[in-house]
Structure 1
Amino acid sequence: MQGFRLPSTVFNIARSRTGLPSFRDGAATHNTQADETIAAVVDEELKLPKLSSLAIILLANVWSQLTFFIVVSSSNEYAAHLGGTATFAGLVIGIPTAISGLTLPFLTRWDQGGYKRPLNFACACQILGNILYALAYRANFLYLILIGRMVCGGGFTWFMYTKRYCSDPRIVGIRRRTTLAGWQVLGQGIGFSAGPFVGGLLFKVGFGNSVFNGFTSPGWLMAAMWAAFWVAVQVFFEDVPCTVSSAIPLQPITASANKDNKALDEAAISEVPEGSRSPSPSPSPSPPPAPAFKMAPNQVGVTLTMCWFAMLCFFVLGAWESNIPVFTGSDAPQNPFHFSPFAAGNLIALGGACTIPFLLLNLHVARRVQDRHTLAVGTAVGTAGLVLALALLAARRVAYGPFFVAWLLVALGFNVASTVTLSLLSKQLPGEWNGRVSMFIQYSNYTGRVTGAVWGGAGVKVGMLGYVGLQLGLVGIGCVMFMSLWKNLKAKMG
């Protein structure tokens, strides 16, 4: 590092974390040793898992999202063909989430802290579930649709494992978690845009065959894709080591440290209390066992806030995804469209597709912006979409262009906001809490998705103004929590 020297404060902090003497202690240690110490800390905070394994994890998330949404366009007609009602079709879409929630506690006890077992379980469930869904037409058995989607629900437990993998301290450094969460949300966007479009396209093409037709083709397609993917899992996926990270809870950032923030960020290390510094370079023989971690009141507040936003994002997204086909095909006084299910699915897909460039941009921005700022901007954009929709409905001047813009803002804003719920929380709690924190966020997502879908389906019946108004009220509660804990939401970038 000739020609460049980091500030002595950075070297002192690095030495304090490794037991090396600091300059203020008057110890003479060669600069190379300090440089190596800082490099080790930086590498730890920027580490990433093996690329092939990470690609498998993220691709499994995309496949899961596609499987969830591909039946949205045709499930109502499929159920009607076999003698079912619209309510039954809604149950077909919503039941996998409930099954996932019931399955997760048992699966997490069996996974041994790894990912290979739940990934194999997800692949098996998705293959079998999609085959059963497709066979219902040939068997002329209505409830086989429901059974197939229930089996798929076991595979949708992978949503939680994707989040857990992207924040696992054993393989992901603290400054890479929001970036990986951004990739996970990008896959989420691809799923809810491509899924309805592909399902609607397959339904429109038809394929006049008693086995492979517009109703059954989504099931056969996804079963084949999962079977090919399962082969790739066996070849390329490498599970994480079965060790527990000795992560340390982050220390709150005080005003007195603000002047050193730039230097600390460049070195990718954080300061520790003065009393914990070792006066000599000799290492401690064996550290005493760490006491059980107990959350401070501000950490409890941050956890509740992140769980609220995890629920809120999926409540709003789920409400709109289920309401758009209902509203645009209804006799509501504000509805000028009278869309077919295929046209409504295309509207959902187009809005999702238009978010993709912005979600890609978010991957770049996430490395340079704090999570709390990403959460604030995403919530603001989504809220702007809700306000626009409320204004259009109140004025009874709903047109395709403005309504599409409202949906685009909602889809973009709340997808971006959902990026940071787990990554921010994982930076403020010990690494060994990652499993339970992932469960907190996932069950919040499940709660939002189920209740949002129900609320969206009932939107026309309760009144569209009240439908949007409740969403704005929930956002308001989140903003109060968010603003009250603004200082405590500060975490490392990346």
Structure 2
Amino acid sequence: MVAFGKRLKERQIQEWQGYYINYKMMKKKVKQYAQQNGVGAQDRHSVFKEFSTMLDKQIEKIVLFLLKQQGLLASKIAKLGEQHTELLQQPDISQISELREAYRAAGQDLLKLLYFVEMNAIGLRKILKKFDKRFGYKFTDYYVSSRANHPYSQLQQVFKHVGIGAVVGALSRNLAELQDGTGSYSSIYDHPYAPLQDPVIDSIKAAVDRLTHSTTFLDFLGQHALIMQEEIPRPIDDIVNDQRYHLMSLLLNLANTFLYMVNTYIIVPTADNYSLSLGAAATVCGVVIGSMAVAQIFSSVYFSAWSNKSYFRPLVFSSIVLLMGNILYALAYDLDSLAVLLIGRLLCGFGSARAVNRRYISDCVPLKTRMQASAGFVSASALGMACGPALAGLLQTRFRIYKLTFNQDTLPGWVMALAWLIYLVWLWISFIEPAHDSEEKCVAEGTDGGSINDALEKGLAQPLLLSSDEKKNDEDDALDCDASEASEESLKPAASVGSAYRLLTPSVKVQLLIYFMLKYAMEILLAESSVITTYYFSWSTSAVAIFLACLGLTVLPVNIIVGSYISNMFEDRQILLASEIMVCIGILISFHILGPYSVPQYVCSALITFVSAEVLEGVNLSLLSRVMSSRLARGTYNGGLLSTEAGTLARVVADGTITLAGYLGVSRVLNVTLLPSLFICVASIMATCFTYNTLF
């Protein structure tokens, strides 16, 4: 391992070396400024101006060279176009083959240029983050806001790559016309959805998507899993991962995810009735539902640590604990014990193996299919979220076997216990434990979940995940003589909650706050739905189940629209802010202030809140993966764990809020529970505006 500056230099294209950002010089300049950190505000302003000018010159050097190379490429493609025109008049298969290879060679030159741009974009982001670490994050805010939107912005040339699209289009069109080699020409414009089977174009498209953050439905959906994808796959990674990957084991992980989400939401339509039948208030359903989340806060940590050594054993343990938890949940009715009910739900929470499910995809699924697996993880969660309430709506029956009662309250427990028993047998028969390398070896070879960001460290990735290394490591890294040691230390995963917290920059903290907010708002909506609709509209359990199932079914269509269209029309930070505002509007509409509370008002507000929160979750986790430290991409205390803990804590607080609000009377539950949601939402909007220009 070597320091970022050395890696940047090593990976530079030698003949273009003088045109890269001079990262080493600028890093030394930042260090000099840091030694003068005690200067007054006026001197600090002059430092900002001086460093901005220096950065402008570096960017200008990059952009002018980029334009020059684009011109050379355009000239080369124009000459090939003349040969192409001649071939149209007198087709010759051998000449067509030669011309196709010439176009592919031009494509390789374009890939080389895209790599040059990507390396410089990473170096630029890195130096901005390093400056912010020394002086606070005001400099990036100032620099991006003053440069990015200027009509003569050279910064946009680096990050938006103006002109490259035209070169890509010319190559794609000509190669598409020549791909069959028979003289039977086809046009990409006549068949816009027909795939072009050419590896060079595929590589170019992947590189452009990386640089512009262009997304598809699968990309956007996969972002919800916070499983970071390596931007440029390397063959050695695929070879290693193929040896560890087993399709049935992946399906078992996804089945675990699906069943757990069904288990979470299957009790929501009936939890208030179950509480009443045990002599408690209806609003105690908040504690019943939330007890699972309370246990999950702790289970996420030990399952994350356990997955460093095994995947099979934690999944077996998870299934057994969930089996026991659901049996206790079902038995609580006949035992007439609220305590047994809560213990059952706590055991279900202790069986949450989502950290293992996520880690298996990150560690063992080949890079070429990891995005699809990530999307599968999120789809399984969404489907489980919809199926849980729907299944509860179908379990509207009552009968007894010996001394056991089977009704709408207990059947969710018995059905899930049976499901986990079947899953446990399937798991025992079919799961194959992959070989576990030591974490250090995995980091070195690129096979651990951290391999995704190991590539980022080497200049191949999306926005600088190393931006928030600990101050001590950052200072060591600034010393050239200790570069290797600093790098080795800075690449180690966080060893504790405290060290993970120290890696959180203001931007990361804001994104975690947003994640907390959206999960809080969604949990309030879902968990109190049965209580609210029964009180105001006298809905039956089946009606509540249908309502919740319909909300859950909006997840995939919404993600298709956002991932395929909206995310390619607007920046993630724009979608983020707009979604927060829409969540806020949904919450405001939900309040019962004057007059009777109507079904259209409730359904409309619930739909706006839920859909906006779903959109928000995708862009929020996408931005979180960009601004967090790469050290939070691997190990026990990783970014996925932090986001899971933030979301789980939000659910716990929301469910607790519902129960506490119940002491004020059911008539006040709605407004009382919405007030914290509104407050947190407004706070997150303000925080987003405060850090807006650092989210690029």
Deviations 1:43-63 (A, max 9, x none): 349979654444333322221
- What is the CA–CA distance in structure 2 between the aligned matches of 1:137 and 1:466, rounded to whole Å? 30
Whether 1:375 and 2:576 are equivalent positions in the alignment is yes
Could you say which residue in structure 2 is the equivalent of 1:412?
611
Q: Cα distance, 1:407 vs. partner?
A: 0.9
- What is the CA–CA distance in structure 2 between the aligned matches of 1:308 and 1:121, rounded to whole Å? 32
Q: Is the 8 A contact 1:455 1:467 kept in 2?
A: yes
Q: How does 1:93-172 map to 2 (within 5 A)?
A: 93-112=289-308, 114-156=310-352, 158-165=353-360, 168=362, 171=365
Could you say which residue in structure 1 is the equivalent of 2:645?
443
Q: Cα distance, 1:309 vs. partner?
A: 1.6
Q: How does 1:261-276 map to 2 (within 5 A)?
A: none
Question: Whose Rg is larger?
Answer: 2
Could you say which residue in structure 1 is the equivalent of 2:47?
none
Q: Is the 8 A contact 1:129 1:150 kept in 2?
A: yes
Could you say which residue in structure 1 is the equivalent of 2:262?
66
- What is the CA–CA distance in structure 2 between the aligned matches of 1:14 and 1:190, rounded to whole Å? 39
- What is the CA–CA distance in structure 2 between the aligned matches of 1:339 and 1:35, rounded to whole Å? 56
Could you say which residue in structure 2 is the equivalent of 1:207?
399
Q: What is the DSSP-based 3-state SS (H/G/I as helix, E as strand, rest coil) of the residue aligned with 2:593?
A: helix
Q: Is the 8 A contact 2:268 2:530 kept in 1?
A: no
- Residues 93, 74 of structure 1: alpha-carbon distance in 2 compared, 3 angstrom cutoff: same
Deviations 1:319-359 (A, max 9, x none): 111222222233xxxx4x13344433433333323444324
Q: Cα distance, 1:432 vs. partner?
A: 5.9
Equivalent of residue 678 in structure 2, options 472, 483, 488: 472
Equivalent of residue 293 in structure 1, options 490, 496, 502: 490
Whether 1:196 and 2:389 are equivalent positions in the alignment is yes
Q: How does 1:5-84 map to 2 (within 5 A)?
A: 5-6=106-107, 8=109, 10-11=111-112, 14=115, 42-44=232-234, 51-84=247-280
Q: Is the 8 A contact 2:326 2:417 kept in 1?
A: yes
Could you say which residue in structure 2 is the equivalent of 1:260?
none
- What is the CA–CA distance in structure 1 between the aligned matches of 2:360 and 2:626, rounded to whole Å? 14
Q: Which amino acid aligns with 1:207?
A: F
- Residues 37, 220 of structure 1: alpha-carbon distance in 2 compared, 3 angstrom cutoff: closer
Whether 1:486 and 2:655 are equivalent positions in the alignment is no
Deviations 1:122-178 (A, max 9, x none): 11111121122223344555432222222111112x234444555x3674759966x
Q: What is the DSSP-based 3-state SS (H/G/I as helix, E as strand, rest coil) of the residue aligned with 2:576?
A: helix
- Note the residue ranges of structure 2 that are not aligned, 5 or more in a row: 1-99, 120-199, 207-229, 444-449, 466-482, 492-499
Q: Which amino acid aligns with 1:191?
A: G
- What is the CA–CA distance in structure 1 between the aligned matches of 2:201 and 2:556, rounded to whole Å? 40
Q: Cα distance, 1:239 vs. partner?
A: 4.0
- Residues 237, 383 of structure 1: alpha-carbon distance in 2 compared, 3 angstrom cutoff: farther
Could you say which residue in structure 1 is the equivalent of 2:415?
221
Could you say which residue in structure 2 is the equivalent of 1:453?
655
Could you say which residue in structure 1 is the equivalent of 2:602?
403
Q: What is the DSSP-based 3-state SS (H/G/I as helix, E as strand, rest coil) of the residue aligned with 1:339?
A: coil
- What is the CA–CA distance in structure 2 between the aligned matches of 1:101 and 1:447, rounded to whole Å? 7
Which fold has the larger relative contact order, with Cα–Cα distance below 8 Å and residues 6 or more apart in sequence? Answer: 1
- What is the CA–CA distance in structure 1 between the aligned matches of 2:435 and 2:695, rounded to whole Å? 29
- What is the CA–CA distance in structure 2 between the aligned matches of 1:486 and 1:176, rounded to whole Å? 30
Could you say which residue in structure 1 is the equivalent of 2:151?
none
- Residues 211, 465 of structure 1: alpha-carbon distance in 2 compared, 3 angstrom cutoff: closer
Whether 1:311 and 2:504 are equivalent positions in the alignment is no
Equivalent of residue 357 in structure 1, options 557, 566, 589: 557
Q: What is the DSSP-based 3-state SS (H/G/I as helix, E as strand, rest coil) of the residue aligned with 2:269?
A: coil
- Residues 399, 361 of structure 1: alpha-carbon distance in 2 compared, 3 angstrom cutoff: same
- Residues 382, 185 of structure 1: alpha-carbon distance in 2 compared, 3 angstrom cutoff: farther
Could you say which residue in structure 1 is the equivalent of 2:227?
none
Q: Cα distance, 1:427 vs. partner?
A: 4.0
Whether 1:328 and 2:525 are equivalent positions in the alignment is no
Q: Is the 8 A contact 1:382 1:409 kept in 2?
A: yes
- What is the CA–CA distance in structure 2 between the aligned matches of 1:296 and 1:432, rounded to whole Å? 10
- What is the CA–CA distance in structure 1 between the aligned matches of 2:336 and 2:290, rounded to whole Å? 22
- Residues 124, 414 of structure 1: alpha-carbon distance in 2 compared, 3 angstrom cutoff: same
- What is the CA–CA distance in structure 2 between the aligned matches of 1:165 and 1:368, rounded to whole Å? 30
- Residues 305, 386 of structure 1: alpha-carbon distance in 2 compared, 3 angstrom cutoff: same
- Out of 105-114 and 309-318, give the one that drifted further: 105-114
- Residues 81, 106 of structure 1: alpha-carbon distance in 2 compared, 3 angstrom cutoff: same
- What is the CA–CA distance in structure 1 between the aligned matches of 2:412 and 2:519, rounded to whole Å? 24
Q: Which amino acid aligns with 1:91?
A: V
* Structure number having the greater helix percentage: 2
Could you say which residue in structure 2 is the equivalent of 1:385?
586
- What is the CA–CA distance in structure 2 between the aligned matches of 1:112 and 1:149, rounded to whole Å? 27
Q: Which amino acid aligns with 2:287?
A: L
Q: How does 1:242-261 map to 2 (within 5 A)?
A: 242=437, 243-244=442-443, 245-246=450-451, 247-248=453-454
Could you say which residue in structure 2 is the equivalent of 1:187?
380
- Out of 446-455 and 49-58, give the one that drifted further: 49-58
Could you say which residue in structure 1 is the equivalent of 2:74?
none
Could you say which residue in structure 2 is the equivalent of 1:426?
625
- Residues 110, 163 of structure 1: alpha-carbon distance in 2 compared, 3 angstrom cutoff: closer
Q: Cα distance, 1:299 vs. partner?
A: 6.1
Equivalent of residue 343 in structure 1, options 536, 540, 543: 543
- Residues 420, 170 of structure 1: alpha-carbon distance in 2 compared, 3 angstrom cutoff: farther
Q: Is the 8 A contact 2:325 2:346 kept in 1?
A: yes
Q: Is the 8 A contact 1:132 1:145 kept in 2?
A: yes
Whether 1:232 and 2:443 are equivalent positions in the alignment is no
Q: What is the DSSP-based 3-state SS (H/G/I as helix, E as strand, rest coil) of the residue aligned with 1:6?
A: helix
- What is the CA–CA distance in structure 2 between the aligned matches of 1:137 and 1:147, rounded to whole Å? 13
Deviations 1:53-99 (A, max 9, x none): 44333322221111111122333333443444446544322212112
Q: Which amino acid aligns with 1:320?
A: L
Q: What is the DSSP-based 3-state SS (H/G/I as helix, E as strand, rest coil) of the residue aligned with 1:443?
A: helix
TM norm structure 1: 0.73
Deviations 1:202-261 (A, max 9, x none): 1x222344436113221121112122222333414554743234534858x9xxxxxxxx
- Residues 77, 438 of structure 1: alpha-carbon distance in 2 compared, 3 angstrom cutoff: same
Q: Cα distance, 1:444 vs. partner?
A: 0.7
- Out of 39-48 and 99-108, give the one that drifted further: 39-48
- What is the CA–CA distance in structure 1 between the aligned matches of 2:543 and 2:351, rounded to whole Å? 29
Q: Cα distance, 1:195 vs. partner?
A: 1.5
- What is the CA–CA distance in structure 2 between the aligned matches of 1:385 and 1:176, rounded to whole Å? 34
Q: Is the 8 A contact 1:136 1:144 kept in 2?
A: yes
Q: What is the DSSP-based 3-state SS (H/G/I as helix, E as strand, rest coil) of the residue aligned with 1:351?
A: helix
Q: Cα distance, 1:312 vs. partner?
A: 0.8
Q: What is the DSSP-based 3-state SS (H/G/I as helix, E as strand, rest coil) of the residue aligned with 1:205?
A: coil
Deviations 1:274-314 (A, max 9, x none): xxxxxxxxxxxxx9452433999996122202211221111
- Residues 35, 71 of structure 1: alpha-carbon distance in 2 compared, 3 angstrom cutoff: closer
Q: Is the 8 A contact 1:381 1:412 kept in 2?
A: no
Could you say which residue in structure 1 is the equivalent of 2:10?
none
Q: Is the 8 A contact 2:310 2:433 kept in 1?
A: no
Could you say which residue in structure 2 is the equivalent of 1:256?
none
